Amino acid sequence: MHVNRIINMKNLFGKNLLVVILACCVSCSKTDLPFVLRSTDNLTFGYAASSQTFTICTNGNWTVSGEESDWIDVSPASGVGDGETREVVTVTVARNVGDQRTGRLTIQAANDNIYIDVVQAEGRMILGNLSLSKTLIKGEPLEDVSVVVPFNKGIVGEQLDVSVTLSGPGAEGLTASGVTVELNGETGTFEIPITGTPLAEGSLNIAVSVMGTSASLNATVFETDPGSMIYLEQYFDLLVLGGDHVGKAAGLHLVGNWPTIDGKRVLPENPQFAISGTANTDGTGDYFNTMHPSFVADRGLAGWTGMRVYERPGYVKIGTAGSTDGYIATPPLSTIEGTDDVKVTFKVARWSENASADQNAKLVIQVANGGIAEIAGTEIDLTPEWQEMSFIIRDATPETVIAFRAKSVANNRFLLDDVVISRSVE
C-alpha cells in the first residue's frame, strides 16, 4: 500500500510538471504546437462612440469578427501570428441610442474559437420638460421665440436632426421647422425657433422628436398678456414712520404720546412728526397687537395679519431681538378664479445691528389654504442689503395665504418690501 501511494504521487507530480512546461511553451514564444492567447475576455464601453484595444498572440492565421453585431467594428480583422508578437486589435463601437446592448467577438485561431464579450451602456437620450422662451399673445408677432429642450446623454459636438410639430387651436399662424442642432455637452439645452403671429387663443401642443426619443409641451396662446394679471400688490408706500435700517438713517416719529381707542394706538387728530431716534428705532408698536385696526387699514394693510410687525419708511420690520414668532401674512388671494399658478416676488433684507448675533437670520415661506410651493418651509439666507426674490405657487386658490416668517429662534429679524403676486407664465 505504501509503495502504491509513492508511485501515484510521482505520477501526479509528473503530470503537473508537464502542464507547467506546456504553459511556458505557449507564452508567446516559439513552439510547433498551435496556440492562441488574448489579453482579455471582456470589453465594456460607455454609450458614446469609442474605441478600445486588446492583443492576440498566436502562431498562425487568425481572424476576429463580431457575431451579428453591426455596431462593432474591429481593425485589423485578421493576421498571421509569429508566436511571439502580441498583435493589437482595435475595437470600435457606434454611439448607442437605445438600451444597454451586448455583443461577442469571435477569435478564430489555432484550430479553435475563443471569445470576447462586449457590453455597451444604455444611451437613449433623455429629454426634459420643454418650455417656451416667451409668452405667446394672440395677434403679437413672434420675435426670438423658441422651444427650449433640456437633454441628457448627449455628446459634445454631436449633430442631431430634430423634428417638431405644432397642433391645437393656438397653432394657427405659427410655424416651426425641423432643425439640426450641435450639442455642447452631455447635458444642456437646445432651442427650436417658432415664427409667425398667433391668430387664435387656446391650447398649443408642441411635440419634439430626436434620436427616437420624444417629448411634448401643452402651451397656451393668451388673449392678453397673463403677466398683467395681478392678484396682489403691496409696496408699503403709505408707511412713513421709523428709522431706515437698511439706509442707516434716522426717521420720522410721532411727537408726543399715541392716543388709544379700545386700548389700541391711533394717530392724534393733528399729528406732529419729527426726525428722532436712530436707524434702528421702530416707527410704531406691533401692527397687529398694539395698533388700532383703523390705523392698519389707513396704511393699506387691511386683511393682512401678523405678529411683531413694525412700521419703517416704505417697508415693514418683522421680529424683535428675543422673539421667535414674528411673521406677516397676505390676505387671501380672493380674485383667483378656481385655481391658478402664481408668481410671488418681493424684496427682503436681514436686520444687521449686531454683526455676530444677526448674521444668521433666515426667512421661511409658508403657503396655506391651497397651493404648492417648492420653497415652502425652506430656510432662506438673507443679507443686510435688499435682495429681490421670487417663487412659484402651483394651483393657488381664492383662499391661498402666503406668510413670511422669521426662523423660530432669537435674532431673526428681517425687513420686507414690494410684495407682488401675479399669474405665472413659467
Radius of gyration for the alpha carbons in the chain, expressed in angstroms and rounded: 38
Read off the C-alpha cell for 381: 439666507
Pairing of strands 213-222, 136-137: parallel
Question: Tens-of-pLDDT digits for all 426 residues of the chain?
Answer: 333 333 344 344 443 333 333 344 445 655 679 999 999 999 999 999 999 999 999 999 999 998 778 999 999 999 999 999 999 999 999 999 889 999 999 999 999 999 999 999 998 889 999 999 999 999 999 999 999 999 998 988 889 999 999 999 999 999 999 899 999 888 999 999 999 999 999 999 999 999 889 999 999 998 888 767 899 999 999 999 999 999 999 999 999 999 999 999 999 999 999 999 999 999 999 999 999 999 999 999 999 999 999 999 999 999 999 999 999 999 999 999 999 999 999 999 999 998 788 888 999 999 999 999 999 999 999 999 999 999 999 999 999 999 999 999 999 999 999 999 998 877
Residue 6's pLDDT is what?
A: 34
* Rounded Cα–Cα distance for residues 75 and 80 (Å): 14
pLDDT tens track for 119-159: 999 988 899 999 999 999 999 999 999 999 999 989 888 89
Q: Which domains does the chain carry?
A: 36-120 (2.60.40.10), 126-224 (2.60.40.10), 230-423 (2.60.120.260)
Contacts of 344 (CB under 8 A, 6+ apart): 373, 390, 391, 392, 393, 402, 419, 420, 421
Which residue is listed with cell 493589437?
88
